Structure 1
Amino acid sequence: MDEDTPVFAIAVAAELAGMHPQTLRQYDRIGLVSPTRTAGKSRRYSMRDVVQLREVARLSSEGVSLEGISRILALENQVSDLSKRVRDLEHTLADQMLRASGRLVFAAGSQGDVVPLRHGARAQRRTEVVVWRPLSQRAADDDGND
């Protein structure tokens, strides 16, 4: 059983949420928290519904209107759905990368940039010569004693 399984009758859900059953019916009518219906049309609430009912009670006690609560819940549900979609896409991408031949490997370039490499290839090394002189020697050379 997961948090989306509709198992609680309205009386149990109301008790778990700390509300009157009539309040749950009202919230269902206005679409704030909509439980699943059985074949006989009775309401069945999931644990997620109970958590949302508690959130409604908290927001209401803080003075947020029912319309505001509805919008907040809709946005929270959207964020939750999008987060799940991102996780699914990340898993799909990871699976594709593992199965793809000629996978790319990434290395850090000399300037901190990301350099893509084919699997088994090495990054090219820079071979320039850099001459370094201490600051005191450069100052003496710049005094015109050339």
Structure 2
Amino acid sequence: MASMEIQNLRVYERRGLVQPDRTAGGTRLYNQDDVDRLIRIGELLAEGLNIAGIARVLALEHRLDRLQAENRRLRAPGSPGRDA
């Protein structure tokens, strides 16, 4: 993350791509999930996507993660509606 420009981080935050916590004094605190997301943003930028495209990809990836988790839950032994 050290290679990212501060201005870019602020743009990503304004666009809702990353939402770091803040200290009482307003300093941004990036956790590991934020750092991972920023790395992904960098990868997508390198592939030529613009900010709107990146936002769409991140939203779709998040949705896919949720659907995969739900699928695993439903397939787990003992799930309601699952034959034993």
TM over 0.5: yes
Deviation for aligned residue 1:96: 4.8
What CA distance in whole angstroms lies between the structure 1 residues aligned with 2:27 and 2:69? 30
Identical pairs, percent: 37
Q: 1:77-100 CA distances to partner (integer Å, 9 max, x unpaired)?
A: 110111112222223xx1258xxx
Identify, as 1 or 2, the structure richer in strand: 1
Counterpart for residue 54 of structure 1: 39
1:27 corresponds to which of 12, 18, 21: 12
Counterpart for residue 129 of structure 1: none
Identify, as 1 or 2, the structure richer in helix: 2
Structure 1 unaligned regions, length at least 5: 1-13, 98-102, 105-146
Question: Normalized against structure 1, the TM-score is what?
Answer: 0.47
Structure 1 window deviating more from structure 2 (29-38 vs 57-66): it is 29-38
Question: Normalized against structure 2, the TM-score is what?
Answer: 0.75
Question: The residue matched to 1:32 in structure 2 has which SS?
Answer: coil
The root-mean-square deviation of aligned C-alpha atoms, in Å, is 2.2
Give the number of the structure whose alpha-carbon radius of gyration is greater.
1
State how many pairs are aligned.
Answer: 81
Structure 2 unaligned regions, length at least 5: none
2:78 corresponds to which of 95, 112, 128: 95
What CA distance in whole angstroms lies between the structure 2 residues aligned with 1:71 and 1:65? 10
